Amino acid sequence: MSWADILFVLAGGLAGGFINGLAGTGTALFAIGFFLVALEPVSAVAVVSLMSVLTGVQGLWEVREALGQNVPRLARFVLPALAGVPVGILLLSHIDAATLKLVIAALLILYGGFFSFRKNLPRFERRTPVLDLSVGLLGGILGGMAALSGALVVIWCSMRPWPKAETRAVLQPFNVSVLSATSAMLWWGGAYSAATLTAFSIALPASLLAAQSGLFVFRRISDNTFRRLLIGLSLLLGLGTLVNALT
């Protein structure tokens, strides 16, 4: 690995770690572009998946109280998602993943673009256990089919007027759970070669350090600002997915 490759891996670790610390999601969106310059696509995905899991532990600790208070809510998202990942992998051979990415990208861009520039944010206040289960399941299926596990969950959580800690107590463990399953499958498939592990060992310390900076900002922003951040991330995720699908 050249010095230029090392610098790109470090940059990816810093960018992905910061957004992981700040929002608890969006790590791949900010890191993968840097990693793809230095690594093969499979290695880049393997590094960002495992990096997201280990860096996300800091975010889980940050919202540990909210996690303990909302275990049933979290289970409604995570358990169906884990069941949905293998379903998505099975469906992958029957559905055009590129077309699916275009549809999801359009949804993210419409939602994120519409609410990013509005004064009033969406407010969906009543309890919706069945919808929570459905969003979790679809998130897992989309993760298995097109690596878009967080797309619907980010939209759904940004619509709920929960305190930022409660919102993060869904997003962070959801992402950690799904990406842990992804990392395990990639490991089983032989994606973690010596070169991949070398890149990971370079990216992880930078990611852990940058996540602390993101957490520092997270502690100081308001609940409303955090919701706007998630809506902005929806727009960015949609644009990134669109570019990926078209190229």
Query: How is the chain split among helix, strand and coil, in percent rounded to 5?
Result: 85, 0, 15
The pLDDT of 140-161, averaged and rounded, is: 85
- pLDDT on residue 123: 81
Average per-residue pLDDT in the chain? 89
Dist CA 204 CA 210 (whole Å)? 10
Give 2's pLDDT tier (boundaries 50, 70, 90).
confident
Whole-number CA gyration radius for the chain: 17
What are the backbone dihedrals phi and psi of residue 123, each rounded to the nearest 5 degrees, phi first? -135, 110
- pLDDT on residue 117: 82
pLDDT one-digit tens code per residue, 180-190: 888 888 888 88
The pLDDT of 31-46, averaged and rounded, is: 88
The pLDDT of 76-82, averaged and rounded, is: 94
Q: Do residues 109 and 171 touch, judged by C-beta distance below 8 A?
A: no
Q: Do residues 38 and 188 touch, judged by C-beta distance below 8 A?
A: no
Q: Do residues 136 and 81 touch, judged by C-beta distance below 8 A?
A: yes
Q: CA-based angle 52:49:164, to the nearest 5?
A: 35
pLDDT one-digit tens code per residue, 95-145: 777 788 888 889 899 998 888 888 787 787 888 889 999 999 998 888 877
- The top-scoring range by mean pLDDT among 8-12, 31-35, 84-88, 90-94 is 8-12
- pLDDT on residue 241: 85
The residue whose two tokens read 């919701």 is 227
* Predicted structure pTM score: 0.87
Q: Do residues 177 and 183 touch, judged by C-beta distance below 8 A?
A: no
Q: Do residues 208 and 17 touch, judged by C-beta distance below 8 A?
A: yes
Give 42's pLDDT tier (boundaries 50, 70, 90).
confident
- pLDDT on residue 164: 93
Q: How many residues does the chain have?
A: 247
